[in-house]
Amino acid sequence: MKAIAFLKPKINYCQGMNYIASFLLILIQKEEEAFFLMLSIIDSTEFGAIFLNDLKRLKQYFYVFERLLFIYLPEIYYYFRVSNIVKMFLG
């Protein structure tokens, strides 16, 4: 993760990146290949925008998630609200 943050200065390490990187490492079993796959995912998809320093895209995804819960699964939405689960992500 430090190497990716070094190569991509706009992307700093943020919580959750380690889960993706570890999944890739478990899947591929080769550290160097997992590293380059993670780098490729960040470079070639919109997925990399999630980890930009301002986390703007991630906040947008959480907003969409919250709205979809509200529309399609209101019981779960209200449970999350009462439990402060949604608030935790959206502030």
The beta-carbon contacts of 13-21 under 8 Å, at least 24 apart in sequence, are: 14/51, 14/55, 17/51
Q: What is the pTM of this model?
A: 0.64
Going from N- to C-terminal start, the domains of the chain cover 2-51, 56-90
Q: How far apart are CA 48 and CA 39, in angstroms?
A: 9
Tens digits of residue pLDDT in 8-65: 888 767 777 888 899 999 999 999 999 999 999 888 888 788 877 777 888 888 889 8
DSSP state of 47: G
The contacts of residue 76 (CB under 8 Å, 6+ apart) are 69
Tens digits of residue pLDDT in 61-81: 888 988 999 999 999 989 888
